[in-house]
Chains A and B, each alone.
Chain A
């Protein structure tokens, strides 16, 4: 069984929001669109987005980490949003595990969003149906596109390649390896939702310098310094002793 998912590498995400707006521009003119913007030029602009990048500060000055945290639908393997939907508009595809909303069936009751602990669903307040990340289902199977293009828009856009995409049930996939080898984790594991999307933690590289590495035989100071040399004629033991 295939379970497509994103793996988001917090170790390299710089919080640039490329995934946010590239998702919007792809999806607003596609089958999942349009994605409304309200008050676009007015007070408190707001709109439907499938993906947001948030910022957290961890720790206290000066030991502070600034963490940029992209979040979209996690395509849970046990999606709590699906069974609560009264119409069947919310569903999880058997073939690839993508959780989708059928806009034609959605009555806009918002119950699925209540059932999602991650806040991954956003109602389109103009079309009044529930919307969410589709993993660009309209891209990834589009055979008129090149293999490179058949990836979610956010993944292609990401300048730091912080977003990996693939089948987490295939142990040899890039995403499975990344999860396995780099400590991939799921959000809010306490609810048993088994999110398909995973996050990779920050990793630190440090340099350790040993004392004896500081002074080396070929230290250029030894070449350049003119250590004071006494003249040959100055007194020495040679003048006073013989053994």
Chain B
């Protein structure tokens, strides 16, 4: 597939935004159960603001993918069948929840609504946080399922796609949260950095598993099934047009196999290995700058990962578009 930058940015930005929110609410939950000291509202508010910005940027990027963004509202119509439609519903819902969560913290509007049997108070932010958590996971699933549900894009058609979207988004979000905590809530930095480390390692495992799986994939469609002729040797000589078409632009990354191979190592290093190192360093030195660097490197790595994710997917339609003559 041709990796569209709109979609690369959309998925990585909202993935990080979702992860960041999950990190914030993780902290709040720990605190609610007294496992951590309570943190200042400003930490949550700033975090939510950053998450909202990431989500808005992601949404903004997504509009570049649409031929008619002014009609984007129509995309909510087919939520019964279309994961894309579901994403279109989940994203603003989540975004609104994060926004409200941040507002509640910023203005300190946080009345206790109820108490749990354990005595823990259930206040507005807890409700919003829980709702946001559900929506964050729903959004991860929707986003990932847009790709994972396309059964003939076999590189994507695996539960690993969903797992990776959650882990990779989560990793970048937690790394960012750790960097934020370094200045805004130093107490929780170790917890967040540790989680970031754990999720990044899990992400590496998940992503590596996908790479290994995809390397072993045998194409289900062949030229033989594409044109229905049984012969081991079939070569396309002309695809019916010579100046290119939508089919040659949308479904081919247009880069060499060598570039793809090297990009694989680049993203494995930048999205996982280097951030793991930087997170460990930042954790041990309690250095906010290092953690921020970890996020930046990891985010760049994830851009490469996402580009690779699209590029690696080999669409069966490409069987019909192999030769210019």
Please give the residue numbers on chain A whose beta carbons come within 8 Å of chain B beta carbons, in ascending order.
17, 20, 39, 43-49, 52-60, 65-67, 69, 71, 80, 83-89, 105-111, 113-119, 121-123, 125, 127-129, 185-191, 199, 201
CA gap between A86 and B79 in the complex, in Å? 7
Please give the residue numbers on chain B whose beta carbons come within 8 Å of chain A beta carbons, in ascending order.
1, 65-69, 71-72, 74-78, 81-85, 88, 146, 149-153, 220-221, 223, 225-229, 231, 233-241, 243-247, 250-251, 315-318, 320-321, 325
What residue of chain A has the Cβ atom nearest to residue B80's Cβ?
Answer: A83
**30 residue pairs bridging A and B, Cβ less than 8 Å apart:** A44-B243, A46-B243, A52-B239, A54-B236, A56-B223, A58-B231, A60-B233, A67-B229, A85-B78, A86-B74, A105-B74, A106-B71, A108-B66, A108-B67, A109-B66, A109-B67, A114-B153, A115-B150, A117-B316, A117-B317, A118-B316, A119-B317, A122-B245, A185-B228, A186-B228, A188-B316, A189-B225, A190-B220, A191-B151, A201-B229
Whether the pair A128, B231 counts as a contact (CB closer than 8 A) is no
- B83 contact set on A, CB distance < 8 A: 84
Interface contact tally, CB-CB below 8 A: 174
Other-chain contact of B320, A60, A108, A109, A119 (Cβ < 8 Å): A119
A180 → chain B closest CB, angstroms = 16
Whether the pair A187, B71 counts as a contact (CB closer than 8 A) is no
Other-chain contact of B75, A107, A113, A117, A186 (Cβ < 8 Å): A107
A61 → chain B closest CB, angstroms = 11
Other-chain contact of B150, A44, A114, A185 (Cβ < 8 Å): A114
Whether the pair A87, B77 counts as a contact (CB closer than 8 A) is yes
Q: Contacts A86-B85, A190-B221, A191-B151 known; A128 to B237 CB distance under 8 Å?
A: no
Whether the pair B223, A52 counts as a contact (CB closer than 8 A) is no
CA gap between A57 and B236 in the complex, in Å? 6
CA gap between A71 and B65 in the complex, in Å? 27
Other-chain contact of A106, B67, B82, B237 (Cβ < 8 Å): B67
Whether the pair A119, B231 counts as a contact (CB closer than 8 A) is no
- B236 contact set on A, CB distance < 8 A: 54-56
A181 → chain B closest CB, angstroms = 17
- B65 contact set on A, CB distance < 8 A: 109-110
Whether the pair B77, A88 counts as a contact (CB closer than 8 A) is yes
A190 → chain B closest CB, angstroms = 5
Whether the pair B233, A86 counts as a contact (CB closer than 8 A) is no
Q: Contacts A71-B320, A191-B152 known; A128 to B228 CB distance under 8 Å?
A: no
